[in-house]
Amino acid sequence: MTGVRDAVAVAHRREWARVLAATVRVTRDLDLAEECVQDAYAAALDSWARDGVPDRPAAWLTTAARHNALDALRRAATLRAKLPLLVEPAPDRPVADDPLRLVFLCCHPALSPEAQVALTLRLVCGVPTPDVAAAFLVPPATMAARITRAKKKIAAARIPFRMPAPAELPERLDAVLTTIHLLFTTGHTAPSGESLTRVSCAERALELARLLRELVPDSREVRGLLALLLAGHARRATRTDASGRLLLLSEQDRSRWDRGALAEADELVVSALRGGPPGRFALQAAIAMLHASAPSYSETDWPQILVLYDELAKVWPSPVVALNRTVAVAMVDGPAQALAEVTELEDDRRLSGYRYLPAIKADLLRRLGRFPEAAGCYAEALRLTENEAERAFLADRLAEMRERDAPG
């Protein structure tokens, strides 16, 4: 049974978006489609244990979910009137860009930007609602209500399940880029769970970014996003040791970074920076590539990274950008200057509950030898963190600070 559960889990990680998208083609109702797909995965546990895991799990799940959808529609009194309008002929093979089509459905301008991203993370990527809430720094109940309202709005507005026309793309693109980036971030460092990463989310984000580049090859921001994701993913294997312990960038074995992915990212970011002022994804990719191209952590071009952060803050004045910038400030101007800027950011309510703020402050205090204050900040970061790999790292640092502060 363990083998079957593993097979279902793998199919969930890899195929959720495709199965859901295929089912939305039938139902035109996100709630009903999601329910039918969940039932299909539940049925797979019994069926695959009895009959064996099928050769094509995604096809099995898609067929099961479609049958569930048609059964549900047949039970509805309005089937005879609505079915001809709702049902599209099922394609013989999975449609390659269906997951991207689903992203565009969720990122329709009828929804608020926050709802677009949240709905995509939940529906397209299968990210649990509490983890979506963590990405937005809001309580899970608030996020659940936001997602429910978004689905109802799509149903009420009868938003079609199709790829936008070329004229519609500009107003839809930014939300899709933001969503794919957040999906990657959720996979790069999982908001909760035992593992530091959630690889399926990161890989799905990369897949979506590649599909998006095929759709809009001339977009510099799409190239920047793909470069940013590749630069992050290239380091994945070195971000923890064999026991799962988190390794800082300064501790990672750079010889094990994926050079093929970095070469592709480098080519993309160079083209993304040409042709006018760069956008936020091109700038973030440029920062990532400066890290990736440095021979060692100490030889990183920190002054240039700080210049890029200053430019990024102009086009994307986010408090998270301001906080990340302080890491570069610490390397260029020293930890005391960075600490002053972090302290100012503590007044920004948007960072309330953001675990990386006390974590960065703790590191700066540690470097300044202010161990009791550093211990307090590590304890606060530990309280806010639900990822076990991060918790273990913070707990070690907290113990180190208390040991250094102990009477000799």
Q: How confident is the model at residue 84 (pLDDT cuts 50, 70, 90)?
A: very low
Buried b (16+ CB within 10 A) or exposed e, 23-36: bbbbbbbbebbbbb
Q: Is the pLDDT of residue 10 over 90?
A: no
Taking the complete model, does pTM exceed 0.95, yes or no? no
Regarding predicted confidence, which is higher, 190 or 295?
Answer: 295
Q: How confident is the model at residue 95 (pLDDT cuts 50, 70, 90)?
A: low
Q: How confident is the model at residue 327 (pLDDT cuts 50, 70, 90)?
A: very high
pLDDT at 114: 79
- Mean pLDDT value across the chain: 87
Regarding predicted confidence, which is higher, 122 or 314?
Answer: 314
Give the pLDDT mean for 328-339: 97
> Which residue in the block uniquely carries the two structure tokens 């799509």?
154
Amino acid 317 reads P
pLDDT at 87: 46
Alpha carbons 388 and 196: distance in angstroms, whole number: 7
Give the pLDDT mean for 212-237: 94
Tens digits of residue pLDDT in 266-284: 999 999 999 889 999 999 9
pLDDT at 90: 52
For residue 362, CA distances in Å to 81, 187, 351, 358, 376 come to 63, 25, 16, 6, 8
pLDDT at 264: 97
Give the pLDDT mean for 79-101: 56
Kindly report which listed range (40-44, 279-283, 359-363) carries the lowest average pLDDT score. 40-44
Q: How confident is the model at residue 250 (pLDDT cuts 50, 70, 90)?
A: very high
pLDDT at 85: 46
